[in-house]
Amino acid sequence: MSKLEFYFTPGACSLATHIALEEAGAKFDAQPISLKKGQQYTPEYLALNPKGKVPLLVIDGRPLTENVAILSWLNRTYPQAKLLPAGDPMREAEALSFIVWCTSGIHPVMSRFFGPQKFCDLPDSADNVKHLAAEATAKNFTLVEKMLAGKDWLFGDWSVADGYIFVFWRWAQALKLDTAAFPNYAAHAERMQQRPAVQRALEREKESQAALDKAA
């Protein structure tokens, strides 16, 4: 088996990969870094990931970035875990299409809440950036809500697509967005929290956050 080093930040989008690692039963060294403290910009980290982002999975010394690429690699490396739908290429492609939308459609919109000044640096524009982000997020969540109607999981059995949308649900709660219109999505988040692999990932993220806060 490959030696895996997983760089992540508690609560960040790297949770999608963190959950998949746990669901796959992978053995890995957890390497939490603090984005708040700028640890993504240290020379050591940039040597591994010049983009200065999490997640990063170093596989036998070779760095792999981008959630979608890492999730695809995990799916192929741990086929027994069925991280993407197996046996039906179209179904697998649909799930892949969905996680690409997570990374390119949902995530960038929600990023506006966390750094509005990166999207518009005109004076007093932050509230407007966030207002527009809230509208666009509600549209995205409406699509997710419809996809979850009458289903436990997005693509039949649990897949990494479910892990990915859980990240955004948690962000919405942390941001105190109004999510009352999304009961299917809320129930999905409840189901996610019942999964032992998800509980392990969340527990490690909690402990890692405490350690990062404590460190100088």
Q: Is 13 in the site for ligand GSH (CB under 6 A)?
A: yes
Q: How far apart are CA 65 and CA 44, in angstroms?
A: 15
Q: How far is the CB of 84 from ligand GSH (least distance, A)?
A: 16
> 151 and 157 in contact (C-beta within 8 Å)?
no
Q: How far is the CB of 162 from ligand GSH (least distance, A)?
A: 16
Q: Is 39 in the site for ligand GSH (CB under 6 A)?
A: no
Tokens of residue 172, six digits: 């919405």
Which residue is listed with tokens 């490690």? 204
Q: How far is the CB of 89 from ligand GSH (least distance, A)?
A: 23
CB closer to ligand GSH, 67 vs 140: 67
Q: How far apart are CA 8 and CA 33, in angstroms?
A: 6
Closest CA to 148 of 190, 104, 90, 85: 190
CB closer to ligand GSH, 113 vs 182: 113
**What is the secondary structure of 146-210 as a DSSP string?**
HHTTT-SSTBSB--HHHHHHHHHHHHHHHTT---TT-HHHHHHHHHHHH-HHHHHHHHHHHHHHH
Q: How far is the CB of 9 from ligand GSH (least distance, A)?
A: 6
Q: Is 40 in the site for ligand GSH (CB under 6 A)?
A: yes
Q: Can you tell me whether residue 65 is helix, strand or coil?
A: strand
Q: Is 63 in the site for ligand GSH (CB under 6 A)?
A: no
Single out the residue of 4, 10, 12, 75 in contact with ligand GSH (rule: CB under 6 A).
12
Contact region for ligand GSH (CB under 6 A) — 47-55, 77-85, 91-99, 208-216?
Answer: 47-55
Q: Is 103 in the site for ligand GSH (CB under 6 A)?
A: yes
Tokens of residue 179, six digits: 């999510």
Estimate the crossing angle of helix 89-101 against helix 67-77, to 10 degrees. 150
Single out the residue of 7, 39, 53, 179 in contact with ligand GSH (rule: CB under 6 A).
53
Tokens of residue 111, six digits: 């990023």
Contact region for ligand GSH (CB under 6 A) — 21-29, 51-59, 81-89, 130-138?
Answer: 51-59
Q: Is 159 in the site for ligand GSH (CB under 6 A)?
A: no
Structure letter (DSSP) for residue 33: -
Q: Is 49 in the site for ligand GSH (CB under 6 A)?
A: no
CB closer to ligand GSH, 68 vs 126: 68
> 17 and 195 in contact (C-beta within 8 Å)?
no
Q: Is 66 in the site for ligand GSH (CB under 6 A)?
A: yes
Query: What residues make contact with ligand GSH under the rule CB under 6 A?
Result: 12-13, 35, 40, 52-55, 66-67, 103
